[in-house]
């Protein structure tokens, strides 16, 4: 099982470690009692990140203004595989990233909910938004 320390969870979620501690204290983010320091199960952090990304329209709007060349650290929240392709969803701070790749690549990378990963975005496409 993948586990995250509070500072790691904060980086993945794009917030301060104090915010993560408050969420743990408020019962919003489940933690595991460890060696005196709370840790968060990767699957719990992935679920929390996914629900947080769905909560806040303001963050989704802000994501649309980001340059098309970015490298963002985040957490895998969902992987859907068939025999050829895989759809990998990640939350990187307030941003939701979806990548399509071969099922073989997703397996080789060990991508599953709760795993930390980096999304590198480089686009030569034009993105059209509806106002």
Domain boundaries, the chain: 3-58, 61-122
The rounded mean pLDDT for the chain is 83
- The 3-state DSSP class for residue 79 equals strand
> What's the number of CA atoms in the CB half-sphere (13 Å) around residue 105?
9
In the predicted model, is pLDDT for residue 67 greater than 60? no
Instruction: Quote the distance between the C-alpha of residue 48 and its chain's center.
Output: 9
Rounded distance between C-alpha atoms, residue 33 and residue 62, angstroms: 35
Mean pLDDT of the region 64-84: 78
pTM for this one? 0.56
Residue 84's φ and ψ, nearest 5 degrees, are -115, -45
Is domain 61-122 given the CATH code 3.40.50.150 in the classification?
no
Mean pLDDT of the region 75-103: 92
| pLDDT digit string, tens, across residues 16-64 | 899 999 999 999 999 987 677 889 999 999 899 888 876 655 555 544 5
CATH code assigned to 3-58: 1.10.1660.10
């Amino acid at each position: 099982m993948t586990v995250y320390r509070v500072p790691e969870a904060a980086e993945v979620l794009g917030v301060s470690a104090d915010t993560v501690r408050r969420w743990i204290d408020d019962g919003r983010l489940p933690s595991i009692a460890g060696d005196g320091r709370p840790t968060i199960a990767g699957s719990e952090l992935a679920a929390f990140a996914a629900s947080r990304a769905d909560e806040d329209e303001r963050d989704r709007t802000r994501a649309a203004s980001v340059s098309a060349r970015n490298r963002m650290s985040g957490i895998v929240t969902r992987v859907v595989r068939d025999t050829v392709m895989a759809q990998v969803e990640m939350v990187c701070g307030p941003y939701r990233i979806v990548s399509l790749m071969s099922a073989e690549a997703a397996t080789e990378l060990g991508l599953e909910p709760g795993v930390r990963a980096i999304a590198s975005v480089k686009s030569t496409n034009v993105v059209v938004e509806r106002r």
